[in-house]
Amino acid sequence: MDDKIISLAHGSGGKLMHDLIKGLFLSKFDNPLLSNLSDSAILNIAGAKLAFTTDTYVVKPIFFPGGDIGKLAVCGTVNDLSVMGAKPLCLSCGLVIEEGFEYEMLEKVIDAMKVAACDAGIEIVTGDTKVVEKGKCDGLFINTSGVGVVEKKVLSLEDIQIGDKVIINGGIGEHGIAVLSAREDLGLDSNIESDCASLNGLVSKIINSSDKVRFMRDPTRGGLATTLNEIVDRKDFGIIIDEEKIPIKDYVKGTCELLGFDPLYIANEGKVVIVVAAEDASRVIDGMRGEPLGKDAEIIGEVVSQHKGKVCMKTLSGGTRIVDMLTGEQLPRIC
C-alpha cells in the first residue's frame, strides 16, 4: 500500500478498500474461509453448514427517508447471510454510543431493530454496549453479526458459467440517494426513500424456484458496478450488462444527473444481484415478480467468454463501455 494514512476511500467498498483487505487482512488472517471474500464465512459444525457474518453501521445521519441505522443494521446483516444461500437465524448487537446521546433516539433505533428483526423472522440474542466520551464517536455506531444455516447448497462464485444470466430485483441507487437527501438540504423529490429491506424471504423463494442459481450478492457500498466487478475479478469470463434493462427510478436518475453521480456506484440496501443458468432465468424472474421486493426484477446482463475479468455495458446511446470498480469515495458513511 502506498498510502500510509487511512482515508475515507478505504471504507468506500471500492478499489482502495479491496487493496486494504487483500494487502493487510488477508495476508495476516490467512485462512480459506476468509480468503474467498464472501459476504459470510461458511462453517462446518456438527454436519451443518453455518453462515457467519459481521457488519458495522456508521450511516450518517442516523435517520433517513425509509429507514434508520437500526433497521439498516438488521436488514444489512440478514442480507449478507441470505445471499450465501443461508437462512438467517439470529443476530448480535454491539452498540457504541456517544456520551450525551438522547435516550429517546436510542429507543427509536432499538424499536426499529425490533420491528426489522420481527419482519425478517430472526432474533437478536446477544449484545454489548459501550459509551465513549462526547466527540469520540458520531452519535451511534451499531455492529451486527449474524448466524444462519445453509439449507440447500452454498452459493459460490466458482459455480458461475458462461451464458448465465444476471438479474437484479429492482431499481438501483435508492439507499444512497435517500441518505444523501437526509444529509444535505438539496430540495430533492419528497418521494425519495431508501430501499432498505431484509431480502431473506425473496432469496428463499429464488433458491426454491431453481437449482441452478449460481451466485448472489447484495450490491451495497460501491453499488451495482462494484458487485459486478467483484464477480468477474480474476475470472476467466466477463459480464456484459444492458443499460436499458437496469431498473432505476426517475428521482434517482434525476438526482444523479443533477449531482454528477453515476447510479451504478450508488449504494443499495434492499437489492440482490443473482447469477442463474440461462434456462432457469425466466422462471426465476417470474417468481420474483410475484413478490413485493422483486416486482421490478429484470435480467440485466449475461456472463460472457469475452471481456475476461471485466464488466462492460451496452449504453443507451448504442456504444459499449467498461464499468470499472469504484476508485475514490463517492458518498462516505452510507451504511
Considering only 54-62, 200-208, 238-246, 262-270, which stretch makes contact with a copy of itself by CB under 8 A?
Answer: 54-62
Q: Pick one of 117, 120, 167, 299: the residue that binds a copy of itself (CB under 8 A).
A: 117
Note whether 327 and 333 are within 8 A (CB): no
Considering the rule CB under 8 A, would residue 315 count as an interface residue with a copy of itself? Answer: no
Minimum CB distance to a copy of itself, residue 252 (Å): 24
The closest of 3, 5, 21, 1 to 221, measured between CA atoms, is 21
**CA separation, residue 168 to residues 50, 89, 172, 210, 247 (Å):** 26, 25, 9, 16, 8
Between 21 and 186, CB nearer to a copy of itself = 21
Q: Pick one of 78, 86, 116, 147: the residue that binds a copy of itself (CB under 8 A).
A: 147
Could you give the 3-state DSSP secondary structure of residue 187? coil
Considering the rule CB under 8 A, would residue 78 count as an interface residue with a copy of itself? Answer: no
Considering the rule CB under 8 A, would residue 286 count as an interface residue with a copy of itself? Answer: no
- Chain positions 316 to 335 lying near a copy of itself, rule: CB under 8 A, are 332-333
Q: Pick one of 22, 61, 121, 129: the residue that binds a copy of itself (CB under 8 A).
A: 129
Between 149 and 186, CB nearer to a copy of itself = 149
| CA–CA dist 303, 240 (Å, integer) | 7
Q: Pick one of 7, 305, 320, 327: the residue that binds a copy of itself (CB under 8 A).
A: 7
Considering the rule CB under 8 A, would residue 143 count as an interface residue with a copy of itself? Answer: yes
Element (DSSP H or E) covering residue 15: helix 15-20
| CA–CA dist 122, 102 (Å, integer) | 27
| CA–CA dist 64, 181 (Å, integer) | 8
Could you give the 3-state DSSP secondary structure of residue 206? helix
Query: Which set of grid coordinates corresponds to residue 59?
Result: 450511516
Q: Pick one of 83, 113, 197, 284: the residue that binds a copy of itself (CB under 8 A).
A: 113
Minimum CB distance to a copy of itself, residue 332 (Å): 7
